[in-house]
Amino acid sequence: MIYKFIFGKPFETESVVNLPSDTQIFTDDLKQFPAGKISLESGFELSIPLADDDMIFGLGEAMGGINKRGRIYRSWCNDDPSHTEEKESLYGAHNFLVIYSPSSHKCFGLYADYPGNLVIDAGCTKKDVLSLSCGQADIVLYYIEEKNGGIKDVVSAFRNIIGTSYIPPYWAFGYMQSRWGYGSQKDVEDVFDNYRALDIPLDAIFLDIDYMDEFRDFTVDSQKIPDLKKTVSALKENGVHLVPIIDAGVKSDEGYSVDEEGIKENMFCRKKDGSLFRAAVWPGLAHFPDFLNPDVRKWFGNQYSVLLDCGIDGFWNDMNEPALFYSEDGIKRAADTLTELAKKADRNDSIISWSMKDTVLGVQNSIEDYKSFYHRVPASLCGNFSDSEKDGTAIVRHDKVHNLYGFNMTRAAAEYFSSNCEKPVFLISRASFIGMHRYGGIWTGDNCSWWSHILLCLKMLPSLNMCGFLYTGCDLGGFSCNTTRELLLRFLALGVFTPLMRNHSALGTRAQEVYAFENPEDFRAIIQLRYRLLPYLYNEYVKACRNGTMYFRPLAFDYPDDRIALSTEDQLMLGEELMIAPVYVPNATGRTVYLPEDMYCVRCRKENGGCAGGAPEQVLYKKGVHFIFCAADEVVFFIKKNCAVPVVLPARNSSEIDYSTLSWWGDSSAFGKYKMISR
């Protein structure tokens, strides 16, 4: 059952699109809310009492565990490349959570539909209170309960009201290679040649900002790539796709047609006085398209045609929180502050040095900058969020609706593709809000080459699935810092199972392509395993999208009566048949695994050990705790007893997979019983 509680006059985010006819709707009713107490005295605050054993799941892309209890989270799309333990917000804003009581088996879901800064205190300040608060008392709360249903039923009910998740083209489930620094035809050819020479499967090569002409969106540096159409065609003939980046900021540059047209047609965000807002990102000072305006979305979506006409059929949208390196006003504010601090430099005051540091660092992604520009939005959507209205258009300050920016950039592209492209187009975004899951996938941003970030990725996966984001994955190997051979192997062993399997790294770090390490055949075997499992992984992904279920689930969702499963935070269920338990510490010979029921341990090795061909080692283990050996060049996963999964022989890319080679792994009594869906 869905209950919708409307307070004040909220902004219509368009995240909820399929409310059932029996939804109960309440307006400004503080007494009818079924859980906790609501206060409107200072903005909005909801306080929900927590029992000692209550668990909190969800919140999408966030730090912390699968059980989110005990931390503070801030829903604010944030360009922060350092994903350390104390961080309250990352790139996405995903305000859906489920509270589950193991003792009573009762659970309910809560979605706070609010486009700005929302704080979720999940039993941190007070261990027995969950609180949600925001500065404006104009918000929609959705309360979801399924009587006699479990956590999965509540999640499915939510997924149904927010719409079907994005299904990318089949090739998007292949292995992908990316690096900040690829920018020339030679870079692309070198990557392709090295993968092909070593017979390592590859479906896509990504281009970061270096392919552009001086970082101008929708341009190509002809000195680096003389004939993009020819380059794309040559790759496609070999089953490989080229995926360029598009950033949110449009370079402010006389003679640059996109910028000049955007100014002429009033497509960019402006300040309160009507002047154009500018801030610096990679191209230097840039203008920012007003993506919350439908006309701007249509205009910006049309810009992709320049690259689509060259045969490009995949994009990644970046820097769309939006990231702001600095603004001209911000530099002036910082300079004024530093001047005043300099006058106090002769004092014996250590606080001055900290203030100077904070002033300089505070120039980037400054809240003052986010408060300084505005959107033109249909007045019918705005509620109490508008500063002014005229002729059906409202003027809305950006910080009030900040979390919708990246969502609507990706929506702009997806809507254009849907209307103008015959085949599905690959599309992922860095920033997101619930609702964007209908238009594209996400990657989890600039992680690091840290062992802890394997586990962080694993914990984010089911939380993102709860919020509709099924097509997701992390930068395998880590984006920042220098990876190691062992670390990359372990990252890839998780990446075998994530829908997005992309190796991506930063400029200035060591080469992270798998052929840059000794014994590349070990990497080849793990990537080949991905292609062997592709029929099953793709099938389970599409089923989850169509049915509003989860591709990845915590063990707690499937085994809510099992106390060990409830507390297991480093294993996941995948589809209806598999469980994964990756190794995420260095120099390990294996790891302890909890089996919530009898399962086959499937051990895949190179050569004829299951990765490149042949059959893996399969051993049936009883329910319980086991130490499972797993070398760095192996992948181990688990198939439930009485279940089997389809596999094929590996191929150089997804287009060459031969379904006539289909066979089965798992319980022989279940061979052939798994239902495949048509692609």
pLDDT tens per residue across span 501-539: 999 999 999 999 999 999 999 999 999 999 999 999 999
Average pLDDT over residues 66-75: 98
Helix (H, G, I), strand (E, B) or coil at 357: helix
Q: What stretch of H or E contains 419?
A: helix 405-420
How high is the mean pLDDT of the chain? 96
CA distances for 374 relative to 9, 76, 286, 363, angstroms: 19, 17, 15, 19
- Pseudo-torsion of CA 612, 511, 503, 184, nearest 10°? -110
Kind of pairing between the strands at 270-271 and 314-318: unpaired
pLDDT tens per residue across span 105-126: 999 999 999 999 999 999 999 9
Q: What stretch of H or E contains 457?
A: helix 452-466
- Rounded to whole angstroms, the Cα distance separating 431 from 629 reads 38
| Residue 617 bridge partners (DSSP) | 603
More confident residue, 352 or 53: 53
Instruction: Give the pLDDT confidence score for residue 354 in this predicted structure.
Output: 84
**Residue 355 — φ and ψ, nearest 5°?**
-65, -40
Neighbours of 677 (CB within 10 A): 10
Average pLDDT over residues 322-341: 94
| Residue 74 bridge partners (DSSP) | 119
Instruction: Give the pLDDT confidence score for residue 357 in this predicted structure.
Output: 87
Instruction: Give the pLDDT confidence score for residue 63 in this predicted structure.
Output: 96
- Rounded to whole angstroms, the Cα distance separating 203 from 85 reads 34
Kind of pairing between the strands at 441-443 and 373-378: unpaired
**Residue 288 — φ and ψ, nearest 5°?**
-120, 115
Using pLDDT thresholds of 50, 70 and 90, give the confidence band for residue 79: very high
Instruction: Give the pLDDT confidence score for residue 147 in this predicted structure.
Output: 82
- Rounded to whole angstroms, the Cα distance separating 71 from 122 reads 5
Residues 2/24, Cβ–Cβ less than 8 Å? yes
**Residue 553 — φ and ψ, nearest 5°?**
-140, 145
Number of residues written out for the chain: 679
Average pLDDT over residues 194-216: 98
* Cα-Cα end-to-end distance for the chain: 33
Min mean pLDDT across 2-6, 357-361, 541-545, 665-669 is at 357-361
Using pLDDT thresholds of 50, 70 and 90, give the confidence band for residue 148: confident
- Helix-strand-coil percent breakdown of the chain, rounded to 5? 30, 25, 45
pLDDT tens per residue across span 5-33: 999 999 999 999 999 999 999 999 999 99
Chain centroid to Cα 241, Å, comes to: 21
Establish whether the linkage from the previous residue to 322 is cis, with ω within 30° of 0. Answer: yes
Residue among 318, 131, 132 nearest 217 (CA): 318
pLDDT of residue 347 exceeding 80, the answer is: no
User: What global pTM score does this model have?
Assistant: 0.97
Min mean pLDDT across 50-59, 332-341, 481-490 is at 332-341
- Rounded to whole angstroms, the Cα distance separating 439 from 454 reads 27
- Rounded to whole angstroms, the Cα distance separating 164 from 347 reads 61
Using pLDDT thresholds of 50, 70 and 90, give the confidence band for residue 678: confident
pLDDT tens per residue across span 561-574: 999 999 999 999 99
pLDDT tens per residue across span 434-476: 999 999 999 999 999 999 999 999 999 999 999 999 999 999 9
Kind of pairing between the strands at 241-247 and 44-49: unpaired
Instruction: Give the pLDDT confidence score for residue 343 in this predicted structure.
Output: 81
Residue among 176, 251, 200 nearest 428 (CA): 176
- In sequence order, what DSSP letters do the residues of 91-158 get, joined into one string? SEE--EEEEE-TTT--EEEEEEE-SS-EEEEESSSSTTEEEEEESSS-EEEEEE--TT--HHHHHHHH
- Rounded to whole angstroms, the Cα distance separating 33 from 17 reads 22
Residues 319/248, Cβ–Cβ less than 8 Å? yes
DSSP letter (8 states) at residue 420: H
pLDDT of residue 348 exceeding 70, the answer is: no
Structure tokens at 523: 């990497």
Residues 513/484, Cβ–Cβ less than 8 Å? no
Residue among 550, 557, 574, 419 nearest 494 (CA): 574
pLDDT tens per residue across span 619-642: 999 999 999 999 999 999 999 999
